[in-house]
Structure 1
Amino acid sequence: MPTFNVKLPMILSLLLIFLALYVLALRGHFSYVAMRAGNYRFSKIESFNSLALNPLMSFSFALRDYQKDTLDLKPANMERLEELSKIFPLFSTTPKNDFALKNPPHIMVNLMESFGTQMLSLQEGNLNLLGELAQHFEEDFVWTRFLPCQNGTASSFFCLFFQSPIVLSKSKYKEHYLPFIPIEVYKQQGYRVIFLTAGNSTWSDLGFFMKAQGADEIIDEVALLQDYPNSSKIHFHSHYGVGDEFMYQKALELLSSAKEPLLILTLSVSNHPPYPEVPILFSKEQIPLEIFDKIPKNTSAILNTYVYANNEFARFLSKVKQSELKDKLIIAATGDHRVRGVAMDFNTEKALAYGVPFYLYVPKAYQGEIVYDKTRIGSHKDIFPTLYALTLSETRFLHLGGRNLLETQENDKFAFGFNAEVWIDNEGIYPRSSNLGYKYKDNQSLLSTEESFALDEEHLEFHKIYQEFLELQLRYKLLNLAQ
């Protein structure tokens, strides 16, 4: 039998090579960033994604989630829920809508990363931060006296799409089904539901949770990278996903080829630090000096990425309006939270600093009898009630104090906007940390003054009571109905 005389330097070299390969294997799949719990999905074939996670990584991810999961909810106190339901009805029913019943439209609800209203207040002269979206803001319905329900992406995502004030996807409830949410409402009406994002669906396990709630298809950066090879170029590919434009391209393809009514729930990612390389519309020299006081860091990147995101959504809207889809697609869009790099002025921006716009495109045939008042107060709680009224007929839905913003008569009882840090009504602005209310500078915006006024007991307790109501209805859906 032949023998090999391997010298010590060779043995050490081989050991180092094998060690390096082992470390690379532990690191996970190579794409553009080290594999993490929020981006381990890299293939449409889920078995490949499972194989990519070595045992140590899988255990590490699971242990981290377990250690962070302190959520232990108790069933709702039904007596208290019924008491609060007298203030905020738990359920309501849409009016009769024969046209929508016979002609169910496609619906797209676009949650846009960092689409904050505060940024739009910085526009002046040639500094057009709406970009090409300005045309559509003029043509369609827009409310800017509007708040997101939360101040983070995952938390606003859960609040808007799952009517949950708590992010559940990293908790022990991540496989629990939530009844009455928009996915269920539309699936019961024959809709196919698609979650489409320019990011990775493993981020915060949003894709997994969407599947658990009945979404028919999940499309994320993995599919977009394969369908549009150009999206992998550094110009488009960021830390959080591919360029928003490829998400809109996919949405247009899905809608154009659909044989059944679609509800597409989208989440954009481009307008998020670290910012991707985007076309430079405003160089440092073109930006007014006072903007640098408002946005002291990454000024050019923040402005240009904000406009890039707006432009890509606007181009999608323009293509829709030039196609057959213009008569059978309703599009809603809002922001998840403010642009974090913009400084707050609490003298004038007690509410504006947290605000996001609500944009709505509705074909003429689906408008029916409506009244559009762009000064109406609202928040994320009002988006689906508005859509339900436009698209469904005599359908029961979870109300939660939401209202149709296009209803013919203003309902003052539900004319409020709610955010985790501030709430608003027609009379004023009420920061959660204050015992005073503050007057608006005008009735066209969320700008505030320093003029304060004392609050009655109802206003003093409102934020706390509504938050309690949101948590109780979640526990009712999550636990009581499962018993």
Structure 2
Amino acid sequence: MGNFGIQIIKLLSLNFIFLFAMSAYRLIFFLYYKTGIDLTGFSKDIASAFFMGLRLDLSVLSAVNAPVVLFFVVFFIIGKSSWLKTFFLGLKYYYTVFIGLLLTVFCIDFNFYSYFKDHLNIMVFGFIEDDTMALVKTFYENYNLFLIGLGVAIIFAGIFYLSKLALKQQKTKFALPNIFIRVAISVVLPFVVFIGVRGSFGYHAIGVYTNVSSNEFLNTTAINYVFTLQRAIDNKARQSRNIDYIAATGYENNIRQAFADYLGKNISEIDKKVPEKSLISKTKQNANIENVKPNVIFILMESLGEDLVKYNSETFNVLGELKKHFDQDIVFRNISSEDSVTVYALEALFLNTFLRDNSFNVSQSEYVYNRYPFASALPYKKSGYETFFIYGDNVAWRNCGEFAASSYYDNVISMRGAGSKDFPAGPWGVFDEYLFNSVFETLSKNSGKKFIFALTTTNHPPFLLPDNYKTLPLEIPQELQNRISDIDNAKLSFATYQYSNEMLGRFITRIKNSPYGDNTIIVVTGDHSSLRYRPESLVNTMRVPLYLYIPKKLKPQNINTKVAGSHMDIFATLYNISLSNAQYMSAGTNLLLPKAENNTLMYKNFIVGKNFAVQYDIAGNKATYYKLGARKELILAPEQKEHKQLLKRFLSATAISDYLIKNTGEKMKK
């Protein structure tokens, strides 16, 4: 065998080493994250996961080598051995850059999964769109950047040394085969790489169908982050393209049918020109409400998930003073946020609508200046309330100040930024106690009814507590420890969760013990959960508590707190306990009504009923059906009648939301 053949074998051997490194990552990922997962009876699926993973890794590696093959073929056909020698010498630089980046991002993906329980996904764009400096500080506070930098340097140096060693050439001249063999190789080689990239001889490329098991963790083990990142990029591109959700959900030129399907009405009952009229309701006349004239305080708590609440105990005290109020007052525990990102939760609550999966967020779009008839603050504004939005940081974040102003908030208050006081703060905003003080001061100023919407920030990584705060007992239960990879960071996370709830509890106590206790309604919910779960446990991920303090004179009787609901249902409920004879427009359900017993959880592209759930991929026009296990885990299931009903509700809700945002409302005069 000549020098040329030896060089080709060396090149192939080098790529096998790269492939081995990628497979080794998958094994480490599997062994590290399988803790607490029952894989009994899944032996074949485990093998399938690693085999699928090998195919996916080979696809990625083939893509990296596609430019290599292209240049090789050109030089090979020309037949210049000196050019080929230079080409092989240059490969060590190419592989150092691209394989180095590939393996480095594997490490990033590993840590990403520890928080989001998913490979790299659309959340990575938050680094650009969110408060980038705060995120940089998050990394600085939580990770040893020196060791990370050293590790990255070792990866790149190792690949360079390995490539240099493997591609080291003999001094003798290349002996190239004849032109016919060179042409044959130049035809076959690109075809082999093409098949490698596709990973399949079938109609679909390998990235289309990667599930190997009914166990979602094994499906996650198989997938390569390159494919999930590509999906994220595609999803982001769809967001920027402004998807026509009405057409995508099957209601093109027939939006009245969407309203009819969602409301369970005949299409003849839906107004032909103004179909949104069907969403208008009116609260009953209530003499107690008219006499009390209640203030309303709505608090959206950062990362107040229902998941940690169930672990609360004297030794693991995550609720603090909030615990006594949870015991005394009304708490709905089967409520879902509509997204895992704060700004989207804010949108759902500001606009009383269901979020459209993979859509733009209104606050950073052309629609931010629209004054919508379904805005949640509008019924209070019309009923003579002065409205306030108070944010623990600067309202310039995600353009929330403009969004609040167009959503009928008379007063938009930043706790940080120009004109604000210099309160002690963390990277994302002032400590929650100062926000609650501001809410109380706002309530105390002047007379007249007030509606106050407050958004907290403290319970957000990097976790930081005030120096004077004394932590209550936090002995982490074993069940939680089994799910945690970084105990030290988890302890600080739980302490911050506790602090926020303690300060909230003290604030509620202060209200109750003041003259405002008899005429102020307090509503609290979380923007999203605090813990991350594996895909099959998504129902736990989406749930947040809904707390209501209602003065005795206004408190309804026989409230069923077990009903399901979503963020868009909260204000439809709140209007009916705080406003008398008031008109409002909302797609949400009043959770106090008997029909709420059949209500659903709606979160991103999921809708969950009592026993079944549906996930719908808008882009792929594909529904995946599940039944709920004993612990509300998602189990793949064949289509049932209940699935069809859930899917109809999800599609019609999505179409209605898109119609409302794009076709109603008037531009606010600035």
**TM-score band w.r.t. shorter chain:** 0.7 to 0.9
1:293 and 1:418 map into 2 onto residues whose CA distance is 29
Alignment check: 8 A CA contact 1:418 1:424 kept: yes
1:394 and 1:315 map into 2 onto residues whose CA distance is 33
After superposition, the C-alpha distances for 1:404-457 in whole angstroms (9 at most, x for unaligned) are x234x34445x2221114333333455557412214x3xxxxx32577764434
Alignment check: 8 A CA contact 2:297 2:522 kept: yes
Alignment check: 8 A CA contact 1:180 1:398 kept: yes
What amino acid is the match of 1:330? I
From 288, 291, 295, give the equivalent of 1:99: 288
From 608, 612, 631, give the equivalent of 1:424: 608
2:664 paired with 1:476:
no
Q: Name the counterpart of 1:45.
A: none
Deviation at 1:475?
2.9
Q: Name the counterpart of 2:66.
A: none
Aligned positions of 1:204-243 closer than 5 A: 204-222=398-416, 226-227=420-421, 229=422, 231-232=423-424, 237-243=425-431
Q: Name the counterpart of 2:539.
A: 351
2:513 paired with 1:329:
no
Q: Name the counterpart of 2:558.
A: 371
Change over 3 Å in CA distance of 1:222–1:199 after alignment to 2: closer
The structure with more helix, counted as a fraction of residues = 2
Q: Name the counterpart of 2:335.
A: 146
Q: Name the counterpart of 1:56.
A: none
1:292 and 1:87 map into 2 onto residues whose CA distance is 45
Deviation at 1:281?
2.4
Structure number with greater CO (CA < 8 Å, separation at least 6) is 1
Alignment check: 8 A CA contact 2:289 2:580 kept: yes
Q: Name the counterpart of 1:70.
A: 240
2:572 paired with 1:385:
yes
Aligned positions of 1:48-447 closer than 5 A: 70=240, 72=242, 80-89=254-263, 90-124=279-313, 126-164=315-353, 165=355, 166-222=360-416, 226-227=420-421, 229=422, 231-232=423-424, 237-278=425-466, 279=469, 281=471, 286-288=475-477, 290-297=479-486, 298-339=489-530, 342-345=531-534, 349-367=537-555, 369-403=556-590, 405-407=591-593, 409-413=594-598, 415-430=599-614, 434-439=624-629, 441=630, 447=631
TM-score norm. by structure 1 comes to 0.75
Change over 3 Å in CA distance of 1:477–1:422 after alignment to 2: closer
Deviation at 1:277?
2.5
Alignment check: 8 A CA contact 2:613 2:625 kept: no
SS in 1 for 2:572: helix
What amino acid is the match of 1:70? S
Change over 3 Å in CA distance of 1:205–1:322 after alignment to 2: same
Deviation at 1:337?
0.7
Deviation at 1:242?
0.6
Alignment check: 8 A CA contact 1:185 1:397 kept: yes
After superposition, the C-alpha distances for 1:35-73 in whole angstroms (9 at most, x for unaligned) are x98599xxxxxxxxxxxxxxxxxxxxxxxxxx9982547
Larger Rg: 2
Alignment check: 8 A CA contact 1:69 1:170 kept: no
Count of aligned positions: 404
What amino acid is the match of 1:199? D
2:297 and 2:573 map into 1 onto residues whose CA distance is 13
Structure 2 runs not aligned, ≥5 long = 1-128, 134-236, 264-278, 617-622
What amino acid is the match of 1:392? L
SS in 2 for 1:435: strand
What amino acid is the match of 2:471? L
Deviation at 1:291?
3.0
Alignment check: 8 A CA contact 2:332 2:547 kept: yes
Change over 3 Å in CA distance of 1:38–1:307 after alignment to 2: same
Change over 3 Å in CA distance of 1:323–1:333 after alignment to 2: same
Deviation at 1:220?
1.5
Q: Name the counterpart of 2:646.
A: 462
Q: Name the counterpart of 2:9.
A: none
SS in 1 for 2:608: strand
Deviation at 1:310?
0.5
1:296 and 1:312 map into 2 onto residues whose CA distance is 28
After superposition, the C-alpha distances for 1:251-309 in whole angstroms (9 at most, x for unaligned) are 1111123411111011000000111234352689x434553332323111110000011
% same residue = 24
1:176 and 1:145 map into 2 onto residues whose CA distance is 32
Q: Name the counterpart of 2:96.
A: none
What amino acid is the match of 2:602? F
Alignment check: 8 A CA contact 2:335 2:566 kept: yes
Deviation at 1:399?
3.1
Change over 3 Å in CA distance of 1:391–1:39 after alignment to 2: farther
SS in 2 for 1:333: strand
1:345 and 1:37 map into 2 onto residues whose CA distance is 25
Alignment check: 8 A CA contact 1:350 1:429 kept: no
2:491 and 2:392 map into 1 onto residues whose CA distance is 23
Q: Name the counterpart of 2:632.
A: 448
